[in-house]
Every structure is written in structure tokens, then in C-alpha cells.
Amino acid sequence: MSEKNPFLQNNSKLFLFAILIFGVLLRLPNLNESAWYDEVVYSTHIVLKDPAHLIAIVLFDKSAPFYRIFMFFWIKVFGDAELSIRIPSLTCGILSILLIYVLTLKFTEKKTALLTSFLLCLSPVHIWYSQEATPYSLLLFLFLTSIYSYYKLKESTAKTFWYGVYFLSFFLAVFTHYGASVYLVLISIMCLSKIDKIKLKVLILNLVILGCFISFELFKNSFGAVYTKADYLRPFTFFELWMLFLNWFTFGNSLWAINPYRMRLSAILQRPAMFCAQIIFLIIFIQGLILSLKKSKNSYGMETILYLFSLPAAMLGLSFVGFRHVYIERFLFIALPFFCMILAKGATGFKTKSIKVSAVATVIVFYIAALAAFLIKSDKWTVYKQNPDWRSAAKYFSGEIKNSREPLVIFAASSATELVYYDGRFKEHFQDQKMTSFKAQIYYCKKPDSAYLYRILSENGIKTFYLIKNKYWVNNFDEMLKNIRGDSKFSFVGKVSFKGLEIFKFLHP
């Protein structure tokens, strides 16, 4: 692993090429699996129907707009089948592996750059978001591009080109996810130190981006698109930081899968093997932090650390002052490559050769084990909740529609929008209970009692109905099912199951 090793020097491009090919192979298998709710509402015709719907999303949705704008034009050209909507994330994911390699080369040695890109290649978290039609892979690519162009400005003669790349990539990153604005502030502060002509121009560009961001938010707020709390977000604490770095980033929550909404200190104490593994990685990580401060090319070590910790620190601050809905792991996905960089720096930085080899081997073995666990646990919560097989459920209901003379009526306790994506004959009902001319009607039950179902069925003369359970988003379904099965007005016919889904068929005499 020595930097002076001729074999490493002469074959580094070959190693990088192999890592990229391996990265593609790891990310291909699930590209065509069933789409889930976030993908459907971010990337398909369900919400991106026409320019009017796109404008409404830009103005009224609380999320950043660029990814949906991009996907609007993408699906117009390439369609919105599962494979098509995931190709941009796959492409950005692979390019991110390449970018972190060339970026790490600016910060440290070639051996560390290769190991960093290899760890990102193996990371279950990175694989997950390279296979999912959501903004996070695009965000990471844009952010790494902006950081790389920032350092190219300091060394390139083609500065006009790199100013353009920097401005465009950072502008789009901020409008892909608002968390990127933290790094906009960070780089602006960095530019104030020993300011020169280049830093002054970068600072001006940052102020333009920040001005556009603030103006856009004020404009949205004038339409009432004010951010409100989301139930899936939670406070960010030091314990969450520990689990983010030493479970989610490191093991992809796959070796020891823990529901993050039920995480307690006891979750670690009850898993001594997990705690020992975390301590080992913590030692290597701390070694990487120390070496980043002591031995970095062009004194970029502190900046690497800031790229890793700035967004977590911002979330810790927001939680400390009372904001209780600021965090979910994927919001910090942007920091993952810098965690890999510091971990790789620590593993390759031990002076004693035997310790260095052991550290590198330990990191690689654990990452491979985490990857294997991630691939095996295809129906369990790892990086996030798995995707239910809505495609098969839609196919089942299609057969039921064909064999029935009356409209198909489905009751659900959580979102079933995916059925609308797979079959245009489905219609969702949120407030309006009046049945439409659609072949299949989906009603959402906020309360688990059977009176609501009975009213809908009686008013519309429906004899057969279905309950659909999303096992990854149960809500109040189990109580609702218990009440219906205990109600003499309904007769249970049977059940079919697909990955993550159970469909119960009933008769209403």
C-alpha cells in the first residue's frame, strides 16, 4: 500500500476502472424492481403530468424544485418506467465514485484515493440511492462537482470554464436539496480567510446563489408554501450522530439492522459485537481525523473535516434550539464520501506496516460483510424501508377488475398511490367519498373502525371489497383489520401476499 509502490503507481487507473465497473454491477440488479411512493411522487407522470402541475409543485411543494424539473423533461423523452426513472441516479452515483477519487487526490495520497472510492463503491447507502429515483444521488454528484471545481479554480488557467462549472453545479445543488446551502455558507467563510482575487469572485458567486435561494423561498412563501413539520423527521442528537457515522455510513444499517425510530442506547448495549465493531472503526476514524490535520496536501485536511461535519453540526444546532423535525439519515447522504475519505486516511496512515495492513483489511472485510448482509436482507429494513411489490399487487387487482362487474373498492391505512402509477384505472379518495367512474377506487381510513367502510359500501351498493396492508408502513391497519374481521356484516374470503404487501378480500352481503 506504499505510495512509492510502482505497481500501485502504474496501475492506479486500472484499479479505478475496475472499481467503477464493479460499482455498476452492484447497482444494476434492483433498477427494475417495483417503484415506491417517493419515487412515484418525485419522478413519474403521477405528479409531473404537464407544465401546469410542474409549476404548482415548484410554487407550493416544500421540497427543492430542481430534481422534479429535471425529471419532468427526462420522462417526456425517456418515459417513466422503473428503469428509466432510475438511470439518472445510477449515472450520478457512478460519477460520484469517480469524483471522490479525483477529489481525494487533491487532499491526500493515491492509496487513500483508491480506498476511498472503493469504500464508496461498496457502501450499501450509496448503492441504495444510486438505485432510487429520488434527488439524493444527483445532489451528491452536483455537490462533489462544485467542490472539485472550487479547487480547480486555484490551479487552472481555464478559470472562466471552472467558474461556470462551480456556479452552475452549486446553484443546482442548492435547488436540489436545501441542505447544500450549509456548504455554500461554509465555503463563503473559507473564502474570507486570506482573501485573494479568486476567492473574492467565488464569494460573489456564492452571494448570487444565496440571493437567488432567499428570493425564491420568499416568493414561495408568498404563495403559502411555508415549511411545516414532517412526521418522518426527528431531532438530531449526539447519539444520532454516533449511529449515523458508525452504523449507517459504515455498515449501511445492514450488519445490525435497527429501526432508527426505535433507537436507544440499549440497542448498542444489547449487541456487544456491534459495539466492538463501532469502537474499532472509531479508532480508525479518529486516526484519520488526526492525520487529516497533520499530513494533508496543500493543507486541505481541515477543509475535509469541515465538509464532513458542517451539515451535522447545523442539524445539531437546530435541534438544540428547539426544532424537533430536522433529521432523517438521507438528509446527510451528502457527507458520506468525506466520511469514507477520512476512514480511508486513517486505515492507510498507520506507521507500522502490520497495523496498516490489518486496518485496511478490517475496513474492507467489514464493508464487504455489510454489503453481503444488505443484499441478503432484501425484505428487511436496512438503509431504509424496502420497496413493497406494488407492481405485482397492481397485476393481481387487474385480474380482479377483469372478473368483476362492479367497481373495485380498496381500503388502505397508508399510501397506495403506487397502484395509480401502475394502472391508470385506479382513483384515490382523500376527502371526497363520492365514487367516480374509475374501475378501481382507493379509500384511506384515518380511523380503524368499520363504520366508515360500511357507509362507503352501502352508499354505492358494493358487495366485494379489499384491504391492503403495507407491512413497511402499517399505521393503524392491524386494528382496522381486527375490527372488520370481528364485524358480522363482513365475510372474509381470502388473502394474497406479495413482498411487503398483504391483500385481504371481503364480502359485504
Domain range for 475? 390-507
Residue at 462 is within a domain: yes
Contact 223, 242 (CB under 8 A): no
CA distance 357 to 359: 5
Q: Where are the alpha helices (DSSP H) in 123-224?
A: 124-130, 136-152, 159-174, 181-191, 197-221
Q: DSSP readout, 324-340?
A: -S-B-GGGGGGGHHHHH
CA distance 464 to 487: 15
Residue at 467 is within a domain: yes
> Is residue 449 classed as helix, strand or coil in its secondary structure?
coil
Residue at 474 is within a domain: yes
How many CB atoms sit inside 10 A of residue 493's CB? 12
Q: How confident is the model at residue 10 (pLDDT cuts 50, 70, 90)?
A: low
pLDDT tens sequence across 450-502: 888 888 888 888 899 999 999 998 889 999 999 999 888 899 999 999 999 99
Residue at 128 is within a domain: no
**What pLDDT, on the 0 to 100 scale, is given for residue 437?**
78
Say what percent of the chain tops pLDDT 90: 71
CA distance 379 to 387: 8
Residue 295 has pLDDT above 80, yes or no: no
DSSP annotation of 157 reads: S
pLDDT tens sequence across 240-291: 999 999 999 999 999 999 988 888 888 888 899 999 999 999 999 999 999 9
CA 415 to chain centre: 19
Single-letter code of the amino acid located at 118: F
Contact 123, 336 (CB under 8 A): yes
Number of folded domains that form the chain:
1
User: CA 255, 98, 112: angle at the middle one, nearest 5?
Assistant: 65
CA distance 230 to 270: 30
* Half-sphere exposure at residue 455, Cβ-oriented, CA atoms within 13 angstroms: 8
Backbone φ, ψ for residue 47 (5° rounding): -115, -20
Residue at 363 is within a domain: no
Residue at 1 is within a domain: no
Place of cell 510502482: 6
In this prediction, residues 177-190 reach a mean pLDDT of 95
Residue at 28 is within a domain: no
CA 3 to chain centre: 35
Residue at 346 is within a domain: no
**In the structure grid, which three cell numbers stand for residue 456, read together?**
362507503
Going from the C-alpha of 342 to that of each of 23, 169, 309, 367, 382, the distances in angstroms are: 20, 24, 12, 15, 24
Q: Quote the pTM value.
A: 0.93
Backbone φ, ψ for residue 373 (5° rounding): -65, -40
In this prediction, residues 198-225 reach a mean pLDDT of 89
CA distance 165 to 377: 40
**What pLDDT, on the 0 to 100 scale, is given for residue 301?**
83
